[in-house]
Every structure is written in C-alpha cells, then in structure tokens.
Amino acid sequence: MTPFEQIKLHIKKATENLKLTDAETATLLKPDRVLEKTLSVETRKGKEELKAFRVQFNNARGPYKGGIRFHSAADLAEVEALAAAMAIKCAVVGIPFGGAKGGVTIDPKTYDRNEIEKIARAYVGAFFEHLGSDKDIPAPDVYTNPEIMAFMLDEYEQLAGHSEPGMITGKPLSLYGSKGRDSATATGGAIVLASYLKAVGKKDKQTVAVQGFGNAGGTVAKLLHNAGLCIVALSDSQGTLYRKDGLDPYAIDEAKQKGGAVTSLYCEGSVCDAEALAKDGAEVFPPEHVLSVPCDILVPAALDNVITKENASEVKAKIILELANNPVTPEADELLKKREVKVIPDVLGNAGGVTVSYFEWVQNRSGYYWDDAEVGSKLKEIMEDAFLNVYQYSLSKEIPLRAAAYEIGVDRIIEAMRLRGRV
C-alpha cells in the first residue's frame, strides 16, 4: 500500500462515517492539481535534468500550504500523500489553508551550497505561476531549510517584481521568518501530549522513548524531559541508547554533536565502553530496538511506516505520539487498537509546525511581528483547542483519535466545499 493509498483509506473511512455522497468522496480524494516539471540545472556534473513535483490538494478552506523536500526517494506518490494529509491537518487545527507538498528527486548530500541554490531557484521558476501568498505557500521539509527558503523567496520576488515575504514560510528571521518556527513541531506535539495525559488523568511520571534525534525528536525529548517525564530511550540511524532510570537528552545531544550518534556518549563507532555502560545501567541496541523498549509513551519522530503489522506486537508503549508523518501503517493501527494502545495521530500530533507557519504568514501579511511569548501562547491555545475537539469527538463517537481527527478534518473541508458550490 503506497503512502497515498494509506491516507486515502483514512479519508474514505471518514467519508463513510460522515455519510458523504460518492461524488463528495471522489472530489475529496482527488488532488486539485498535480504538477510535474523537469528542472535543467548546471552543476559540476554538467547540465542535469531533475524531476520536480508540486501537488495542490484542495483549497476550499484557503491557499495551499505545504513543504518542499529535496530527497532521492521523493516521488509523486509520496508527495500526493503528504499533500492530502496536510489538507486534513490544517482543517483539524482550524487554520485557513488547504494542503500541498513539493519535492525534487535528488540526493542533496551530493550537491554543494551553490548547486542547491541553483536547484531552489529553478524550482521556483518552474512553478512560479502556481505559487504566492494567496495561492500556494511552500515551507521547509526534508533536507530543506531556512536558507533554501531565502533563495526561493528571492527568486520569486525577482520574477514577481515586488516584495512578497508571505509567499513562503520557514524563512530566516532576518527575512521575516517567525520566532518559534524551528521548535514548533516538537512544541506542538508536547502540548498535545500534555493535554492527553491531563485528560486521561495520568499524573505519575511517564517513561518515554523517542525514535529519531533530529530537530523534531531531539527537541521533543528535551521538552518532555523539562516537563518531568523520564526519557528512557533515544535513537537515530546509528543505534538506540536505553537506560531504564532515564537519560539526559541535553548530554546526549552534546555527545552526538561531537561523535555523530546518540550512542556517542558511550561509543566510538561500533566500539562501546562496556564498563561505563554497566556503571550507568545503560544499554546500546540497533536503531529499530527503540520501538520495542519498555516505556509508557513512544514518539516516532523520524520516518514513515516504521510501525507495521510485522512489529506492532513488539510495541510495549500504551501511548504513541506521531511526531513523524505517517509512522504507523493502517494494518498496525488495527493491531494496536485491539491491544488498547492509544495513538495520537500525526494530523494532530505534528501540526504545530504548520500552525507556526500560519503565524509567520499572518505576520508577513500584517507587517507586525510577535515575540516568543506571543507565538508560544497562540500555539498553546490552538493546539489545546484542537486536541480537545478531537478527544471529545472520539469519546462521543467511541472511535480512535485518528478516526476522530480525520472525521473532523473531512467535515470541515466538505462544509467549505459545499458553501462554495464545489460539490
């Protein structure tokens, strides 16, 4: 099952439960626009022809919104899935955007900064007529960053002949980015998790395992540690570090900066200090082991489709917070449901990122910029309200949180489409 087929399955279940017509369902499941271009870019290898995509998925609630990824695995199916999920995500948290996603099929690690700039500018040139603060607002995604957004903004404004900072988000602060954007995904996830624990009355110290120690995973580990939760396991592509009495994510981050892995606190490459591990009661395992360590809460914060029907039975956590996009497959969802494992879905759990992107867009359009406290306060309000809506809906309908989130999102989108006479 492709990523898009997985997302369509969730949407279709929601349309069935909401009793939408076949025509309404068909409209919801079809992107408004699928754009494919070939970028011609001069690099050290010569003139390269690079595949590029932009999928715009339903703008009934507002301009399209979604990131651009530079990745060798980026393809149309992946981009379609992420665009559809973004449409749902924006509706779930109640911000006035539709869904979009873009990508360029490259391995960015094989290009230098000058070549990446050329690719970024070529992308904007190829899709220029479809972008804009009232049309489609890109943002950073996998292997893109604020600097690349700056290149894209500059290219767009040169082509347009006017200043338009609101055409893209995730920009550097010096080019009218928003404070709080770098940590927004993790902060939003931490707010939703705290709201869930409060709602279900879990007051004791919860143990947490985080898969992925990049920006989202590393930041959420620190936020949860600061909130008094016990981080028992952290992982990256090199391995898993586990300690039942808890790890200090700040110390792990410092060690990773020097050694390149979360295990670098005890290991140099594959050689680990057994005496130091034994003394601290810590253990080192393969990367995938983080999914099955004893813990109360598991936070997949890296790749998609990591919890499957093959390994769902090994998950010991009773709560899963999806900080990554689509980390639990539909088959695994059903198995986890039977075991009463509660999954906080990605369309709610990682929506803090797009919410602060919305804040950036609002600030760009008004020309008035907020401090960290204002960004944090507004994010907390939106994420708590969104969680409460999803949680109460799930209780009233006696359905999982994912089903509740998708039904809320689909209902809001279809209502906008009906009011616009599109269905």
Report residue 207: phi and psi, to 5°.
-95, 145
Asked whether residue 133 falls in the same domain as residue 243, the answer is no
Q: How confident is the model at residue 2 (pLDDT cuts 50, 70, 90)?
A: confident
pLDDT at 184 over 90: yes
Asked whether residue 135 falls in the same domain as residue 207, the answer is no
Asked whether residue 14 falls in the same domain as residue 123, the answer is yes
Asked whether residue 142 falls in the same domain as residue 258, the answer is no
User: Which of the following is catalytic: 8, 65, 89, 101?
Assistant: 101
Higher pLDDT, 50 or 74: 50
375-405 confidence digits (pLDDT tens): 999 999 999 999 999 999 999 999 999 999 9
How many CB atoms are located within 10 Å of the residue 90 CB?
30
pLDDT at 4 over 90: no
- Helix (H/G/I), strand (E/B), else coil: 359: helix
Active site residue 198: no
Q: How confident is the model at residue 134 (pLDDT cuts 50, 70, 90)?
A: very high
Of 317, 344, 371, the residue that ends a domain is 344
Asked whether residue 152 falls in the same domain as residue 195, the answer is no
- 84 lies in a domain? yes
Average pLDDT rounded to a whole number, residues 26-49: 96
Higher pLDDT, 175 or 1: 175
**Contact between 51 and 105 (Cβ < 8 Å):** yes
Asked whether residue 192 falls in the same domain as residue 143, the answer is no
For position 44, what pLDDT does the model report?
95
Closest CA to 208 of 217, 200, 199: 217
pLDDT at 243 over 90: yes
DSSP for 192-233, written as a single string: HHHHHHHHTT--S--EEEEE--SHHHHHHHHHHHHTT-EEEE
- 188 lies in a domain? yes
- 295 lies in a domain? yes
Asked whether residue 156 falls in the same domain as residue 286, the answer is no
Structure tokens at 128: 């220029």
Of 344, 359, 384, the residue that ends a domain is 344
Measured CA to CA, the distance from residue 41 to residue 122 in angstroms comes to 7
Distances (CA, A) of 193 to 15, 175, 243, 397: 27, 32, 22, 21
- 281 lies in a domain? yes
- Helix (H/G/I), strand (E/B), else coil: 345: coil
Asked whether residue 99 falls in the same domain as residue 212, the answer is no
DSSP for 291-339, written as a single string: GGSS-SEEEE-S-SS-B-TTTGGG---SEEE--SSS-B-HHHHHHHHHT
pLDDT at 156 over 90: yes
Of 344, 360, 395, the residue that ends a domain is 344
Q: How confident is the model at residue 203 (pLDDT cuts 50, 70, 90)?
A: confident
Structure tokens at 83: 């665009």
- At 237, which CATH number? 3.40.50.720
**DSSP code for 421:** T
- 172 lies in a domain? no
Average pLDDT rounded to a whole number, residues 351-362: 98
Asked whether residue 198 falls in the same domain as residue 133, the answer is no
Asked whether residue 296 falls in the same domain as residue 223, the answer is yes
Structure tokens at 4: 């898009």
Site of tokens 């076949």: 22
72-85 confidence digits (pLDDT tens): 988 888 899 899 99
Report residue 155: phi and psi, to 5°.
-65, -45
Measured CA to CA, the distance from residue 228 to residue 271 in angstroms comes to 32
pLDDT at 3 over 90: no
pLDDT at 338 over 90: yes
- 379 lies in a domain? no
Asked whether residue 136 falls in the same domain as residue 38, the answer is yes
User: What is the residue type of 363?
Assistant: Q
- Domain housing 330: 184-344
**Contact between 303 and 327 (Cβ < 8 Å):** yes
How many structural domains are present in the chain? 2
For position 406, what pLDDT does the model report?
98
Q: How confident is the model at residue 70 (pLDDT cuts 50, 70, 90)?
A: very high
Count of CA atoms in the C-beta half-sphere (13 A) of 186: 23
Asked whether residue 117 falls in the same domain as residue 62, the answer is yes
- 364 lies in a domain? no
Measured CA to CA, the distance from residue 406 to residue 401 in angstroms comes to 9
- 220 lies in a domain? yes
Distances (CA, A) of 345 to 11, 139, 300, 301, 390: 13, 21, 11, 12, 10
Structure tokens at 284: 């080192």
**Contact between 334 and 246 (Cβ < 8 Å):** no
- At 30, which CATH number? 3.40.50.10860
CA 320 to chain centre: 15
